[in-house]
Structure 1
């Protein structure tokens, strides 16, 4: 299992980090040789932060090996797909072909993102159609010239994106989904399972990989098995389909202190959401280096090809150092 590092680009507004510190951490992750990827978060207005593609362009200039992506691009269905394809192609060129584009439907009608949906005229019922159409159009723009596209949500004629991405035939496109993450797995109804299975089918049919940030262990085990089952049913090679988990970490010999700091960090980062202790205990690897490594091994055993970790703490550099020097060596 590979490890990624998630940088808190919303943290510049919270006193967690600065632009220079984020770039320094990205470069340190690249030099360490222990990380396959570096990620940032995304939103436009709902949860203000440094714009994701711009930040990745800066990181591309400071790194040589790590893959670069947005976990996940919550604004994917809000952005103009031709402009997004053009911007991402340039980013891929800047990085030498190291990008992964992760789209999701976003939450355009829920608190924290409603302002974005209203501004761009996107409703909840539009999201799935836009996700599928955007992915199809972006794939064509990256590999063809004079593209004509007739969709329900977007139309264009004779469009060519130049220059094309560095990655050939194109950068990978994943789909992120966490449907029903707000409901305990043990309380799911047949309708809940059917809904989540539809999101997995969509991912298996249209994407090159799957990303999730679900946290309940039983929930995660079922999600990854069902997704891979659908990948095989779609006639695709499961060994070439990446499964990626967004997780958090707080290394501290006092595990209770680690949980409490993580809770305060997440509450501040995702205001107005308030996180319960039990939620934090499942979404954050906490405690001693060995306890954190045990959690990562549990995720590896579920079958994830990669887990990206965000330090859920104000001391980003200190947590990064402990992760590299004390936690990751225990996974070998």
Structure 2
């Protein structure tokens, strides 16, 4: 079982010394990985619905300074030795496919195989327009084709591709990722996300708090995992080849202990509750968990990491 925490990519904690301290302390404290999030820019007016709040509004603080995700991943990789870096998640259509494949392969090469690629198709149409991506309405097809491009470039000796959005041949693409193929964790809880996971994902990587597709109780998560197994078999793959991961955006005591339809709401309450939820999800096959443990500053964040290690991780390992 792997346990990770979030590295800051926005707000005051992105100052180089703060970011460096949080990442290196996470490694020293025994966290297995850190996550880095992805927004290139935040439009000042957003009509698109944010999937992870009841209101559909993007959380406050959108105007905060932000780091680019893959640059941040490379910075963390250079400052650490054992810590894995997970993109959580990379909005695949935001960047050109071949360039993205090269950047990811380079990070994996320079980190000696420590990159995990969490992916999503994206939700904010206004950001797509501002960046100048392919059409927002085609983001699902774009995501799938861009991932096929990455796999071809990462694994083929003489890569070539003839798709709707990307075409190339007679090219070379060394160095390959040391892992052979960078693991792909597919974020999202919707039907398309599950089908994408079943088709080519190495792990399903949901957040429990999507109000449209909640995975916030053990029963709901089990139902989602069962649906994924069926879709994976239908896609002609062994369900055992697809792992289960789970992302939690908050830290212990951020939300009072709650219930849904008489069943415990996952990752609410204190550290004891969190440890119990990790054990319950581990028993149904989840092999990776990560948590947002930010404090007001770097010192407070490191304090949260230490308490989480002592009060939660120590109870589940």
Please tell me the TM-score bracket, short chain as reference.
Answer: 0.7 to 0.9
| Inter-partner Cα distance in structure 2 for 1:138 and 1:32 | 33
Q: Which residue of 2 aligns with 1:124?
A: 136
Task: Determine helix, strand or coil for the equivalent of 2:117.
Answer: strand
TM-score w.r.t. the length of structure 2 is 0.80
* Aligned pair partner of 2:164 in 136, 140, 152: 152
Gaps of at least 5 residues in structure 2 are: 43-61, 210-215
Alignment pair present for 1:304 and 2:315: no
- Structure with the higher helix share, 1 or 2: 1
| CA apart distance, 1:221 | 2.5
| Inter-partner Cα distance in structure 2 for 1:153 and 1:23 | 38
Q: Which residue of 2 aligns with 1:22?
A: 19
| Inter-partner Cα distance in structure 1 for 2:128 and 2:39 | 9
Deviations 1:242-301, CA, capped at 9 Å, x for gaps:
2111113434xxx4xx338xxxxxxxxxxxxxxxxx9xx9575442x2122123223323
Alignment pair present for 1:142 and 2:154: yes
Within 5 Å, give how 1:1-332 maps onto structure 2: 1-10=1-10, 13=11, 15-16=12-13, 18-33=15-30, 35-46=31-42, 49-74=66-91, 76-109=92-125, 114-168=126-180, 170-179=181-190, 196=191, 198-215=192-209, 216-217=216-217, 218-251=219-252, 255=253, 258-259=254-255, 284-287=267-270, 289-311=271-293, 313-314=295-296, 315-332=300-317
CA contact (8 A) 1:101 1:173 kept: yes
| CA apart distance, 1:139 | 0.5
Q: Which residue of 1 aligns with 2:47?
A: none
Deviations 1:130-167, CA, capped at 9 Å, x for gaps:
11111111111112244332211222233322222222
Q: Which residue of 2 aligns with 1:184?
A: none
Count of residues in correspondence between the two structures: 281
- Cα RMSD of the aligned pairs, angstroms, is 2.5
Distance change >3 Å, CA 141–CA 311, structure 1 → 2: same
| CA apart distance, 1:231 | 2.2
TM-score w.r.t. the length of structure 1 is 0.76
Tell me which stretches of 4 or more aligned residues in structure 1 moved more than 6 Å. none
| CA apart distance, 1:320 | 0.6
